[in-house]
Amino acid sequence: VSRLDSPIGVFDSGVGGLTVLKALAAQLPRERFVYLGDTARLPYGTKSPETVVRYALQAAEALAGYGVKCLVIACNTASAVGLAAVSERIHDVPVIGVIEPGAEAACLASRSGHIAVIATEGTVRGGAYQDAIVRRRTDARVSALPAPLFVALAEEGLCRGSIADSVARHYLDPIFNPLFNSRAGKSHPDTLVLGCTHFPMLSDTIRAAVGPEVRIVDSAETTARYVRRTLESAGLAARSGEGGLRLLATDAADRFARIGARFLERPIGSHEVELVDL
């Protein structure tokens, strides 16, 4: 098998990274993917950086065993704290996280330089988005805040409706709603980064809460474009083939299939999900 035909490895703490996989498959329809969801140990977003780094290294090594030509850390939390460690360990293929592409897109999208990031606790605490944005735009002002309930809402399938609306308002009104915060009127961020795998599922609700003017950066989309550019410039993009997907999980194949189907927007049979141990 030539390198071009090798699969792309993608991992996440669970099903959330399927939003990234969906965007990748749309950008790269000829590629085969091996997706690993560490469902036995999710969530990563509330765990210490040391633990997330350890888990990320194990997931990356497991995928390296499938002969991948590129590794995508689809999880924002694992990218935020673990990208350097994973790149050091898996040094023979490109390792791409979701933070840098998201930060780059936010810097390009923002006029004022005032950028908000919503993510898990672990991603916000690690400061990776904040650093990646300020490194690219020294004039930037970043408001980063954890929005952990969005993860649960997306997994419950409560992406629209009154519960999702009130959670969105709870997190976003203090930053974006001028009625809520008189200072927000003039100086609220003009760009919002969805810095968690689950948040694109709630993009309509989030859009309604922030209003039509704010630019929303979906890190899944921006990462997929970045991966395509990286493969093309490294001469690693598949030239033929119909694509393909192998799904691996560390626990609960049934739940992965049921919830993952919503994220991937196609049915997943639980027999399609192979259980692996890390």
Contact positions vs ligand DGL (CB under 6 A): 12-14, 16, 42-45, 75-77, 120, 123, 151, 196-198
Place of tokens 């965007």: 23
Report yes or no: 102 and 129 within 8 Å, Cβ to Cβ.
yes
107 is catalytic: no
Q: In whole angstroms, how close is the CB of 12 to ligand DGL at the nearest point?
A: 5
Other C-beta atoms closer than 10 Å to the C-beta of 84 total 12
- Minimum distance from residue 45 beta carbon to ligand DGL (Å): 3
Residue 159 catalytic? no
For ligand DGL, which is the closer residue by CB, 176 or 263?
263
Query: What is the smallest separation between the CB atom of 143 and ligand DGL, expressed in angstroms?
Result: 18
DSSP strand E in 90-168: where? 95-97, 114-119, 141-146
Q: Please tell me which residue in 70, 107, 159, 196 is annotated as part of the active site.
A: 196
Q: Which residue is nearest to ligand DGL (CB)?
A: 45
| Residue closest to 93 by CA, chosen among 171, 8, 16, 11 | 8
- Alpha-carbon dihedral angle through residues 131, 135, 138, 142, given to the nearest 10 degrees: -30
Closer to ligand DGL by Cβ: residue 196 or 264: 196
In the bound state with ligand DGL, the residue whose beta carbon lies nearer, of 80 and 237, is 80
Distance between CA 38 and CA 51 in Å, rounded?
13
Q: How far is the CB of 189 from ligand DGL (least distance, A)?
A: 20
Instruction: Write the single-letter amino acid at 176.
Output: F
Q: How far is the CB of 154 from ligand DGL (least distance, A)?
A: 9
Whose Cβ is closer to ligand DGL: residue 8's or residue 118's? 118
DSSP-assigned states of every residue in 11-66: EESSSTTHHHHHHHHHH-TT-EEEEEE-TTT---TTS-HHHHHHHHHHHHHHHHTT
- Residue 142 burial (C-beta neighbours within 10 Å; 0-12, 13-18, 19+): buried
Report d(CA 37, CA 41) in Å as an integer.
9
Contacts of 232 (CB under 8 A, 6+ apart): none
Give yes or no for a cis peptide into 43 (omega within 30° of 0): yes
Min dist. Cβ of residue 269 to ligand DGL (A): 23
Pair of tokens at residue 140: 């930037």
Cite the active site residues: 75, 196
